[in-house]
Chains A and B, each alone.
Chain A
Amino acid sequence: DGGITQSPKYLFRKEGQNVTLSCEQNLNHDAMYWYRQDPGQGLRLIYYSQIVNDFQKGDIAEGYSVSREKKESFPLTVTSAQKNPTAFYLCASSIGQGATEAFFGQGTRLTVV
């Protein structure tokens, strides 16, 4: 089945540690995105990538890093520099730029303990 997969579903991190969230898609989409969602709030854009080996910062990129070495994969690293990392993280993909729908993964809930 085609789709976008995020792992793990739940993740616990100690303060001061970096952690990497996985996002894989087999939809052959060029564009991929990372959003953060806090309780009762909408999605805020962290990073996005329109093509392999290229990515751009979104609205809240500080404390995060990404890579796009393969078309299928867009991992997000939450670094120790992110002051408030506890949130629900959503990865999405789309065919490309323009009026196309975004397909979302099931999300990763990160909790700092």
Chain B
Amino acid sequence: SQKIEQNSEALNIQEGKTATLTCNYTNYSPAYLQWYRQDPGRGPVFLLLIRENEKEKRKERLKVTFDTTLKQSLFHITASQPADSATYLCALDMQTGRRALTFGSGTRLQVQP
């Protein structure tokens, strides 16, 4: 079956370090992949979109890579801050005729001051 996997364990890092979150998928070839941030009790907020022909995308302190051979995306936050603490979700369009995003379960990031 088609699957999106994110590390379910929380990631704890020190302020100023780089956080790296992983999104792995199986059994399909998405044309693009998106990353969202979700704070407790609130809806997700869009961060970045990367297309299959793009290896890397940057936005301020955020960087996303997309390796279609490994079926993996990495999401990096450089110079992390306590305000970056949240759950980060990756999402794919499965392109199976159903045009809606499929989300991973998310990884909770905790940045310690």
Contact = CB atoms under 8 A, between A and B. Distances in A.
Nearest to A94: B101
B100 A107 contact: no
Contacts, number: 61
Which of the four size classes fits the interface of chain B? Answer: 20 to 34
A42 B89 contact: yes
Chain B binding surface, main DSSP class: strand
Nearest to B97: A56
Given A106-B43, A107-B42, A35 B103 contact: yes
A25 interface: no
Most buried by B among A33, A43, A50, A97: A43
Interface of A: 31, 33, 35, 40-45, 48, 50, 56, 58, 88, 90, 92, 97-99, 101-107, 109
Query: Which 7 A-B pairs rank lowest in CB-CB distance, beginning with the nearest?
Result: A104-B43, A42-B105, A101-B46, A43-B103, A97-B99, A48-B100, A99-B32
